[in-house]
A and B are shown apart, each in its own frame.
Chain A
């Protein structure tokens, strides 16, 4: 009825008319505004901070500083919400100025006098791990942390994940060749069009009202309790539509500042809104990586062993970067059968903006390393890179790096994805061809896969209420960040209740007091978890409807069906009662009434998830592995090193496509983001680790007209316990793009390209054979 159709987004007309409201669009008279005073140094001691002149400036109510505040951080608490004693990254918050207007707050922020003593700044994970490198966190041994986080005090290692599967020595012993490849890229940005924003207000009765552009409204409640001791029952978070997030709005940062600011002004409402520069640098970023992959294989290209070292540039504080480094380890080999795996994935402290999940949560990063290594292996063996992938493609019966046995249900069909990609790309016809003296066209491919690594007790709830016209309201804690998940939930409910999807209304906003919790809107798990919860809620509603109808129709509920706006006798549909006549209970002709408002409740919790064994990494971090095969066709100019991305391909096993146009949009959007990241994004740092490009004028995402032709197809291998078999797909388009682009350009330019972003100057420099010649 609704599933499988390209239903228009429920909020579509709001979005094309300007009616849709985001966090910063809610203006309130008397609301105060904050401006952040941030550090001009990447590493420095704070010698003094003087706010007298700022406090005296027009309109200023308070200047909040960091003294006496608890440390924050999701896996390990190492981050002061406002820097005190020391700053560890360029752009770190050192004070928050609160004033009547934003202009007044900004003017006053300039009057806060901070005296710093600069310290040597560390600019990459390798630098941070060198003998004698300055320690960013001297008290690493004292930080509160959860049980599965393993910092290494006395070093700059915030956490190390170990994957030890099989026997690596044996694996290499069985190999004919061993090929080592190293890759790297600096941190970059999510660059959502809506910058982050949070407001806080504390009412006289003590309730804390937060509004936030966030993927984690429910997490905000938990963390305000964890960090500041506030009762979760006293915290109400409102999240309206969110203007893009891509993982960057999963961490909690501005919300803490808004809360502290409100406390400082007697509970008045304060808005903390990021200008673009703060959004890029002060708020968490897309993680950087230096990685080395050693692959052992037979001369026929059968993978025997992989030895992998991921050095993630987690930046100054670990917050959610640890989780990203863990997630990359979980799937470190890529979607290939490898019996012997040795991986150390480190989250390393550097004096760079701190990192947080970026769409694909460690997987496009992992894929860049592995897929470049596989191409280098193929080149060494003189084998077709597609053949090498196909030969080793992961399948039911194989195990993952964390030793989960894969089945037809919990892993998508990798061989089918590769087979279809080969056809779509016409791989056999050519892989590299010269068009003229200067112009070369080349193809590059990449595999990709992902499971989610989220809390083992992550859950999702959905409530369904009925309206007197028989229509239904779907209330779910999934945030509408652009994925269209809320509309898909409506489709799922419509399908189960066998009703017109136009009659299924969705509450777009989240209000944590009345919306059931959805863990966080991350991990491509929205449809899966909330979808299951919605199905459970629909089934609950059906039971209640049948109960009431059974009295009215004088039949057993077992003989009734719900559908098409009616509850009817299965074997005689002419006997029915309209849903709208019983959704609020039923009144008999003599006035007796039974039942009451039908409220469908459903929840879902991910099952049998376990943390990773600290020694071997064995464990079940997620419910299923989505797979994809991706490719890129480039046209490269040998003379000037410029190139054009002509086509981009993705074959993704979606399980079951619930909304074709929306799924396509998600896949292509993710591909675009991956290509933009790989071809032109990345922060540039000076020698003191100050960010040089924190504006959209100097950090330039891909523009209209620069886009390739996108060719996307979905394979459908249903996941048995997913709603209508649908696998998560929001991130998969992105995963293989950077590697595919690098593989295509490496072929075109005739030189291995293992760094991002792939700008013409990099290609020119690598071809010349020069060393790193950056700013």
Chain B
């Protein structure tokens, strides 16, 4: 439950949303855009979220768009994870989404919320990173479309008043051979120890990881080692692991060295399943 008070707004267009934000910001209401609301509600109880106004973006048509024909898939940021899983426009994203929280929670958690919230796992980021998606962002200065990779550095870099409208994924890329594995400390529900999402394009593996560091990442250096066929697999993987960004998480889910052990094995599984040949 939310112990403090806030006002709830439900704009029906992008323009209305950004205008509302600006007005509420001016009035000192510290507004927040509101997707599924699961984080805002649960973190409020601990004082980790504080606001006097929430702007629900789930009734903005562009944010709910799901376009599966055409060269580009359009995935509205206000679609729930189960909606995306059931429509299954992007199988790797479906696999990633299915491992997050539990199904009932996923009926509420939105794609945008999973990516832009405070909890740092952001596992739906991984397929978008390896598919090299575009992101469509609305803000006080209008709407812009950028490469997701350009804007995502540990977090999505959004300006004040901006929110994510959609993701666009090249349809051909979305059907490439892919791999997803999530290992937890124990059991089938919970935060990741290590999550890997990968796809293979033109004989090259692209891999993104969550749970290893306090942010999801895709690293060119890591991929270079993984794809370096001049070396034996074991060496490549060790080099890739050594090239992981730092810090490696060391927390209640597991120790840093155990995480690296798990990551190395999952990378091995990835190479085995995606095949190590040069061709697709």
Contacts and interface: CB of A to CB of B under 8 A. Distances in A.
A in complex with B: yes
Interface of A: 102-104, 106-107, 110, 275, 639-640, 642, 679-680, 684, 692-693, 697-698, 700, 702-703, 705-706, 757, 759-761, 764-765, 773-775
A703 B186 CA distance: 11
Contact of A680 (B183, B186, B257, B262): B186
Given A700-B189, A706-B188, 18 more contacts: A103-B1, A103-B2, A103-B4, A106-B3, A107-B4, A640-B183, A679-B186, A680-B186, A684-B252, A692-B252, A697-B190, A702-B187, A703-B189, A757-B186, A761-B185, A761-B255, A773-B258, A775-B251
Contact of A107 (B3, B255, B262, B265): B3
A773 B189 contact: no
Contacts of A702: 187
Contacts of A679: 186
Interface string B222-257: 000000000000000000000000000011101101
16 contacts: A102-B1, A103-B2, A103-B3, A640-B262, A642-B183, A680-B185, A693-B252, A698-B191, A700-B187, A702-B187, A703-B189, A759-B185, A761-B258, A765-B258, A773-B258, A775-B252
A764 B261 contact: yes
A103 B6 CA distance: 13
A775 B250 contact: yes
Contacts of A106: 3, 45
Contacts of A760: 185-186
Interface in B180-218: 183, 185-191
B70 interface: no
Interface residues of B, number: 24
B252 A703 contact: no
Contacts of B1: 102-103
Nearest to A685: B252
A773 B188 contact: no
A764 B185 CA distance: 12
Contacts of A703: 187-189
Contacts of B45: 106, 275
B47 interface: yes
A775 B255 contact: yes
A775 B47 CA distance: 25
By Cβ-Cβ distance, the 5 closest A-B pairs, closest first, are A106-B3, A680-B186, A103-B3, A761-B258, A684-B252
B257 A706 contact: no
Contacts of A110: 47
Contacts of A764: 258, 261
Most chain-B Cβ atoms within 10 A of its Cβ — which of A107, A110, A760? A760
Contacts of B252: 684, 692-693, 698, 775
Given A698-B252, A773-B257, A775-B251, A639 B265 contact: yes
Contacts of A102: 1, 3
A640 B265 contact: yes
Contacts of A698: 190-191, 252
A684 B255 CA distance: 13
A107 B1 CA distance: 12
A102 to B, nearest CB: 7
Interface string B1-38: 11110000000000000000000000000000000000
A774 B2 CA distance: 34
Contacts of B191: 697-698
Interface centre among B45, B183, B187, B255 (most CB of A within 10 A): B187
| Chain A interface, DSSP helix/strand/loop, else mixed | loop
A102 B257 CA distance: 43
Interface in B72-114: none
A761 B258 CA distance: 7
A275 B191 CA distance: 22
Contacts of B262: 640
B258 A700 contact: no
Contacts of A700: 186-187, 189-190
Q: Residue among B1, B45, B185 with the most chain A CB within 10 A?
A: B185
B260 to A, nearest CB: 12
A275 B254 CA distance: 26
Nearest to A757: B186
A764 B255 CA distance: 12
Contact of A706 (B3, B4, B187, B251): B187
Nearest to B184: A700
Nearest to A698: B252
A106 B265 CA distance: 46
Contacts of A684: 252
Contacts of B265: 639-640
Nearest to B5: A103
Nearest to A683: B252
Nearest to B254: A761
Contacts of B190: 697-698, 700
Interface string B151-175: 0000000000000000000000000
B186 A759 contact: yes
Contacts of A705: 188
A774 B4 contact: no
Contacts of A275: 45
Contacts of B3: 102-104, 106-107
A640 B259 CA distance: 11
A692 B250 CA distance: 13
A642 B193 CA distance: 13
Contacts of A761: 185, 254-255, 258
A702 B183 CA distance: 16
B213 to A, nearest CB: 16
Nearest to B259: A761
B257 to A, nearest CB: 7
A273 to B, nearest CB: 11
B187 A773 contact: no
A774 B191 CA distance: 18
Contacts of A104: 3
Contacts of B254: 761
A680 B187 contact: yes
B27 to A, nearest CB: 21
Nearest to B255: A773
A106 B45 CA distance: 9
B152 to A, nearest CB: 25
A759 B255 CA distance: 12
A753 to B, nearest CB: 14
A275 B47 CA distance: 15
| Residue from B185, B258, B265 with most neighbouring chain A CB atoms (10 Å) | B258
- Count chain A CB atoms within 10 A of each CB in B3, B186, B189, B258 and give the residue with the most: B186
A775 B251 CA distance: 6
A703 B104 CA distance: 14
A6 B52 CA distance: 55
Contacts of B183: 640, 642
Contacts of A759: 185-186
Nearest to A107: B3
Best-buried of B3, B185, B262 by chain A (most CB within 10 Å): B3
B237 to A, nearest CB: 14
A66 B254 CA distance: 39
A697 B189 CA distance: 9
Nearest to B269: A640
Contacts of A773: 255, 257-258
A34 to B, nearest CB: 14
Nearest to A35: B3
Contacts of A693: 252
A775 B249 CA distance: 10
Contacts of B251: 692, 775
Contacts of B2: 103
Nearest to A702: B187
Interface string B24-66: 0000000000000000000001010000000000000000000
Nearest to B187: A706
Nearest to B261: A764
A760 B4 CA distance: 41
A49 B230 CA distance: 67
A775 B256 CA distance: 9
A775 B253 CA distance: 9
